[in-house]
Each structure stands twice: as structure tokens, then as C-alpha cells.
Amino acid sequence: MPLLRPATALRALRSPSIAASTQQRPISSKAAALASPTNRLRNGLYGTLLLGLLGFGYIEATDTRSSIHTYTVPTLLRYIFSGDDVSRPGPEAAHVFGLRALNLAHALGVPLRERGDHPYLPHLRSELFGLDVNTPLGISAGLDKHADAIDALFELSPSIALLEVGCVTPKPQDGNERPRLFRLPISKSFINRYGFNSIGADAVARRLRERVRRYAREHGMTEEEVLNSLEIPASLRPGRILAVQIGKNKTTPETDIEAVKRDYVECVQKLGKYADVIVVNVSSPNTPGLRSLQAAKPLTELLGSVVKAAEQVERARKPKVVVKVSPDSDSRDQIRDICQAVKNAGLKGVIVANTTVTRPPELTASPQTSEEEKRIVAREAGGLSGPALLPRTLRLVREYRNQLGRDIEVIASGGVSSGKDAMDCVKQGASGVMGYTGMVYGGVGWFGRVAQELAEEAEKLRSRRR
């Protein structure tokens, strides 16, 4: 039997006489206590603190220059992805994860970016390939091989003025077997032998076209209007340049120059209209025979046909053609032959240089170098990247600049870790400076820091000249 019959219960709810005697006093005294000025102040303080913490956490998590992104995230990623990529996730898995995370944050509307103002910008404005750019800095090829994080990467910092995606091959190919990427954390370097893993030119072209279509929709334009505008760069961002790097398929024999030309020309035909710059890769040490294409005769033929294909691209502003050379082709004769081919073909620039197959002794010179790191340096084949490359980059930039004169851009790539390194490249004649390994070890705020340091170096130089 119910404690109260329904009618009585209703009356009890309405009638103060029944309820008041039992419950009202404790509730009202509790409410009174809660509403006391001390409590209100305390609750207000807690609320503000919580909101402050959430806000601080949000800003720390999305500001690329926060200490979380400088120190915690790179170390944490190395710790979590400490395997060999065969039995346990390793450096390659970290690479894939990092790009996905950047893309996800961007898609959710909370992109990682450099907050606050960017005091370096007025000091670093430059001109590259006839375009006004925010800075002379850029991301080297191989970080975004399949062009799937272009906007998330540009968003990281306005200092990233040049982004080179690829290498893209005409047909899809898997690249070499895993493991194919090795960390050398003490020397802050990598050895990689990816071997042009690519989703192929058609798939990359679809991605690039989708970007253009999205931009057209958002700006009330047609796709053709975007592509044929002389004001909108292929990066779709003022002050920024999008370069697409192309290579040949592994199955195309390097000795069959006609087949090699067909591979590169096919890439230009499919990708050229989405690029401000096309980079011809003949310098990867991980595709057998590729670097032999740097010899005078095949290089002249190859570059000539790429330039011709670029001139026929259906876009008002045609992509400029650039070649990326190997740091290991560094004899006087080799450099002279490459420069002759560059001039004969009418190229607009040279990227100096790629990873090296050499293993400079300073790589393992630190007493902290682990046995595992020594083993990797001694045994693993592939291209070395990181600070040990810098001396050679500087020497090569100077030699290429001397041979090419002022009308052809010389872009430095290899071993840059700081704004001072970037300034050293500029002093040797580089018109642009690219980085990759530095950012992986230094975190997503690395470019902003290098830009700030470079601006300070430029200011020092100016005041010394005054």
C-alpha cells in the first residue's frame, strides 16, 4: 500500500502546512549558506580558475610556440613510437600520426598555429620565383609526400612561405620495405630510405583539385577563374608558394631516357596546374640509378622536356621549374655540368641539396651516442639528414651561386637548425632556405623560432653595416 494516497500526496505538495514542518527549514538554511557572500566568492574564484585553466590549456595546446609543442610533444612522440615500424610503431608511424593529428585539428576548426603577432614578418619579406613571399623559409619535400596536409602545414606559421609536397611518381608505388626510417636522436638526424612511396600523380591531382574547388566555392568563383587568376598563387594563400616535387617510378629504367622523360612529363601534365613551382627530383639516393640522371646529357634532355611540358600547362601563370640536386655530386665537373644543363633548359632554380649517403664522423662523435645509434649509422643504408649536412650545404650553395649568377634561385636544404644557420645560407648566396629534420626534433613551432632568429640576425647585420 502506498505511503500516501495520490490525492493526499498532491495536497501535501501544495500545502505548506504538511511540508514545512518536516523539510523546508533544512533546505532553506542550506540555500542560505550557499548564498552567503563567502561561498559566492569562493565559487566565483573556482569557476574563474577552471575557465582560466581551460583557456590556458587550449592556448598551450594550439599555440605552436608553447613549451608543450617545443619540448613535450616531440619527446612524447619519440617515446610512444619507439619501435622499428615492423613489430611496433616507430618513426614512420610517428610521421603518419603527426600529419593526421595536424589535419584533424585543422578539420575540427582548432588548427595548431603561431599565436600572437609575428614581429619577424616586416624584416623577412622576400621575393622568390617572381612572387612576393612572407619570408625566405620553407618546408622541404618528403614531409607531406602525398599532399594531404597542405593547409594544416601552412596554418602552423606565416613564416612557412614555401611548401614542397611530394615526391610524387606517375603511378602509385609502395617504396622500400619497412623499416625505412631511422632516428638518431643524439645528433638530431635521420637516415631514411623511403624510396618514393607515392599514391601516384592521379590521386595527388585529385587532392590538389579538391582544394581549388573548395577555395572557388568559398570565394564565389569558378575553378577556372581561380586557376587563371594572376593574383591567386597555386598555394591559394598570399605570400606563400606551393611546390610539387616529381620523380620517376622505380620500374622505369634510368637508362631509357625516353621512358624517364615520359614519367616526369606525365607528372607535369597532371600536377602542373596546381603548382607554383615544379621540382624535378634527380637526387634521391633511395631510387637505384636516379642520381645518374644528373649527368650532363640526360639531365639536359630531361629538364628540357619538363620545361616544355610546364609551358603547356593550362593555367595563366605557368609553374616555374626547379631541380633538386644531390650533395654527393659535389665535384667541380659535376656541378659545372648540372649548372650548364640548368641554364640550357631555362630553369628558374636549384635546390641544394638532398640527403647524403655519406656518414660524417661528427655524427657519432658525442660521448652520449648510444650503441644503437652507432649501429644505425654503420649499418643502415639510406639518406642522412640533419645538422651534419650544413657545412656541405653552405659550400654547395656558394658554388652553385657562383656558377649560376643572380637570375637563377639557389635554395638551401640540408642541416639547418637555427636562424643563424639560415642566415649563413643566405650569406653564401641562398635566396630561400628549407628545413625538415629541424622541425621534427624542434616541434611544430620550429619555423616561427627560426624566422624570429633570422630576423634578429638580419638586424645585427644591418646595424653592423650602418
Grid coordinates in use for 109? 576548426
The answer to whether residue 327 forms part of the interface with ligand FMN (CB under 6 A) is no
In the complex, least distance from residue 245 CB atom to ligand FMN, rounded to whole angstroms: 6
Helix 419-427 and helix 390-404: axis angle, to 10°?
30
In the complex, least distance from residue 180 CB atom to ligand FMN, rounded to whole angstroms: 9
In the complex, least distance from residue 281 CB atom to ligand FMN, rounded to whole angstroms: 5
Q: Which of 135, 157, 413, 452 binds ligand FMN (CB under 6 A)?
A: 413
The answer to whether residue 284 forms part of the interface with ligand FMN (CB under 6 A) is yes
Residue with smaller CB distance to ligand FMN, 143 or 455: 143
DSSP string across 144-205: STTS--HHHHHHH-TT--EEEEEEE-SS-B--SPSP-EEEETTTTEEEE-----B--HHHHH
In the complex, least distance from residue 465 CB atom to ligand FMN, rounded to whole angstroms: 29
Cα gap 377→386, rounded to integer Å: 13
Q: Which of 64, 103, 235, 281 binds ligand FMN (CB under 6 A)?
A: 281
Nearest residue (beta carbon) to ligand FMN? 142
Residue with smaller CB distance to ligand FMN, 163 or 216: 163
Q: How far is CA 34 from the centre of its chain?
A: 53
Q: Is 418 a catalytic residue?
A: no
Q: Which helix (H) or strand (E) holds 243?
A: strand 241-246
- Cβ atoms 130, 111 nearer than 8 A: no
Residue with smaller CB distance to ligand FMN, 158 or 166: 166
- The answer for residues whose C-beta is within 8 angstroms of residue 453's C-beta and 6 or more apart is 418, 419, 420, 422
Interactions with ligand FMN, residue window 110-169 (CB under 6 A): 140-142, 145, 166-167
Residue with smaller CB distance to ligand FMN, 233 or 435: 435
Candidates 151, 123, 149; CA nearest to 136 is 123
Q: Which helix (H) or strand (E) holds 385?
A: strand 383-385
| Cα atoms in the 13 Å half-sphere on the side-chain side of 261 | 17
One character per residue 342-371, x = contact with ligand FMN (rule: CB under 6 A): ------------xx----------------
Backbone angles phi, psi at 280, to 5 degrees: -90, 115
In the complex, least distance from residue 222 CB atom to ligand FMN, rounded to whole angstroms: 33
Q: Which stretch binds ligand FMN (CB under 6 A): 227-235, 287-295, 333-341, 414-422?
A: 414-422
Grid coordinates in use for 166? 611530394
**C-alpha R_g of the chain:** 29
Q: Which of 285, 386, 429, 448 binds ligand FMN (CB under 6 A)?
A: 386
CB-CB neighbours of 71 under 10 Å: 12
Catalytic residue, from 187, 189, 284, 417: name it: 284
Q: Which of 90, 111, 438, 442 binds ligand FMN (CB under 6 A)?
A: 438
Residue with smaller CB distance to ligand FMN, 95 or 315: 95
Interactions with ligand FMN, residue window 182-211 (CB under 6 A): 190, 192, 194
Residues at the site binding ligand FMN, with contacts judged by CB under 6 A = 140-142, 145, 166-167, 181, 190, 192, 194, 245, 281, 284, 324, 354-355, 385-386, 389, 413-416, 435-438
Name the residues annotated as catalytic.
284
